[in-house]
Amino acid sequence: MKQRNDTGGLSRRRFLAATAATSTALAAPAVLGQARPRVVVVGGGAGGATAARYIAKDSKGAVDVTLVDPSRAYYSCFFSNLYLGGFRDFASIGHTYGALAANHGINVVHDWAVAVDREKRTVGLAGGGSLGYDRLVLSPGIDFRPGSVPGWDLAQQNRMPHAYKAGSQTQLLKAQVAAMRQGGVYCMVAPPNPFRCPPGPYERISMVAHALKQSNPKAKILIVDPKAKFSKQGLFEDGWQRHYPGMVERVGPDFGGDKVEVRPASMEVVVDGEATKVDVCNVIPAQQAGRIAAIAGVTDKSGWAPVVPHTMQSRADANIHVLGDASLQGDMPKSGFSANSQAKVCAMAVRGALTGSKVFPARFSNTCWSLIGTDDGVKVGAAYKATDAKIAKTSGFISKTGEDAELRKATYKESIGWYAAISADMFG
């Protein structure tokens, strides 16, 4: 029998995990005593939780799946803007891993992966243990690129929150918006491409404007943006005009939006050499693959991890699959929907390789909804196929300006149905 868990010291955490794994094996007596192929999934978010769930569910216990994530609860970035706008409560965007363990026998380990030995095929954990794998799935999301906004680093995240990984950062940003002085200024330093959720910053502007319109109607919103254009721009700008006239101002690269610096101590934003004092400063820095991808050596100089579209295997190592935001795959936006879609292709490929199950051609799709104001939802979506070079867009659609209120409301309702469905698809 292959070594199923760590070879290192049996810490309490590892001991608990090993106990959980034993009860898993008891739940699936057919495979007791056999060497089951092992899959380790690093990151229990949109990509990782889906991949772990589908591999375990569809292999019916034939594959030993371990999911590593430091958090006991995953707070989704998707719908975190709706929390900022007051349309969702915080608890409603939190998910736990209990059902993945109970329903699918997944061994959930709460720890950080800190090392990957590609020769020995082991993942090292911060707690000291190590996990052997036949296939490793990395879906660690993003990390921020150091130095991308001069004056800002992670040590400043309490003064100038990013709220671009959801959880306490999101709560902090909401509290800062609520506490803003009357007539104050909320500033967002928007990120350069590529970054997670292309419409995300602009949906956030809409939701912050919605909250301020009620509690602080004279407040102003300033977007400092290094990009000339952004996702669903026409739809957002039209919506801001209708719902929040005069509130939102955007400084693009033509006016120095790409030459920005922040001074957290004095709460100043310096655009093209000119300093402005603001009340809340939401800095969303430039991004790259979550650090563990670089540690594993699967990223290239872009900072993202190139993958083979048909299987989501790393181009650097066929035993490793990279999903979601961290992957460099082609045309799909970095979204929860995309990560979930890629995870299913990956799960099928992993099962095929480890158990000989049937492998069907990869297919991908994405739809991103955004809420602009009450019952005013819009969406953009596309279908994709795997080519040898990249995941390539085949067709798509986008909401239009001037749609009637009923259609916008139906679109918003769809997003609620989607959130329930994708949550169940990840954690159910």
Partner 1 sequence: MFLLFRRHEKTRGWSAFADHDGLKKAVSTLLAAALLAFLPAAAWSADAGRGKALYGQCKRCHQVGGGAKHRIGPHLNDLFGRAAGSLADYRYSRAMKGAGSGGLVWTEATLDAFIAAPRAVVARSRMSFAGLEKAEERAELLAWLRGFSGARSDVPAAEPTVTPEEYGLDPKLLAIEGDPEYGAYLAGECTTCHKPGGGEEGIPSITGWPPEEFVIALHAYKRGKRVHPAMQLVAGRLSDEEIAALAAHFHRAEDGP
* Single residue of 7, 126, 179, 397 touching partner 1 by CB under 8 A: 397
DSSP 244: S
Q: Could you give phi then psi for residue 405, rounded to 5 degrees?
A: -60, -35
**348, interface contact from ligand HEC, ligand FAD, partner 1, none, CB < 5-8 Å by kind:** partner 1
Q: Under the criterion CB under 8 A, does residue 31 sit at the interface with partner 1?
A: no
Footprint of partner 1 on 97-136 (CB under 8 A): 99, 103
Q: How is 296-358 classified by DSSP, letter by letter?
A: TT---TTSSEEEETTTTEESS-TTEEE-GGGEE-BS--S-HHHHHHHHHHHHHHHHHHHH---
Residue 420, SS3?
Answer: helix
Interface mask toward partner 1 for 315-354; x: CB under 8 A: ----------------------x--xx--x---x------
For 27, half-sphere exposure in the C-beta direction (CA atoms, 13 angstrom radius) is 18
Residue nearer to ligand FAD on the CB measure, 64 or 111 = 111
Phi first, then psi: what are they for 115, rounded to 5°?
-150, 150
Of 404-423, binders to ligand HEC (CB under 6 A) are: 414, 418
Give the range of 9-17, 56-64, 135-143, 233-241 binding ligand FAD by CB under 6 A. Answer: 135-143
Minimum CB distance to ligand FAD smaller for 312 or for 323: 323
Cβ closer to ligand HEC: 254 or 406? 406
278, interface contact from ligand FAD, ligand HEC, partner 1, none, CB < 5-8 Å by kind = none
- Give the C-alpha separation, 32 to 36, whole Å: 9
Q: Using CB under 6 A, count the residues that bind ligand FAD.
A: 39
- If one asks whether residue 139 binds ligand HEC (CB under 6 A), the answer comes out as no
Report the partner that residue 397 touches, choosing among partner 1, ligand FAD, ligand HEC, none (CB closer than 5 to 8 A by kind).
partner 1
Query: Which amino acid is it at 322?
Result: V
Find residue 395's DSSP bridge partners: 383
Nearest-10 crossing angle of helices 46-59, 405-427: 60
Cα separation, 121 vs 123, whole angstroms: 7
Q: Does 59 interact with ligand HEC (rule: CB under 6 A)?
A: no
Is residue 141 at the binding interface for ligand FAD, with CB under 6 A as the rule? yes
In angstroms, the CA 239 to CA 252 distance is 19
Return the residue of 365, 375, 390, 393 that touches partner 1, per CB under 8 A: 365
Instruction: CB nearer to ligand FAD: give 146 or 183.
Output: 146
Please list, in sequence order, all residues whose beta carbon lies within 8 angstroms of the beta carbon of residue 65, skipping any fewer than 6 positions away: 38, 39, 41, 52, 55, 56, 104, 105, 106, 107
Residue 285 within binding range of ligand FAD, rule CB under 6 A: no
Residues that bind ligand FAD (CB under 6 A): 42-48, 68-71, 74, 77-78, 80-81, 112-113, 139-141, 164, 196-197, 200, 204, 290, 292, 323-326, 334-337, 339, 368-369
Residues that bind ligand HEC (CB under 6 A): 367, 414, 418
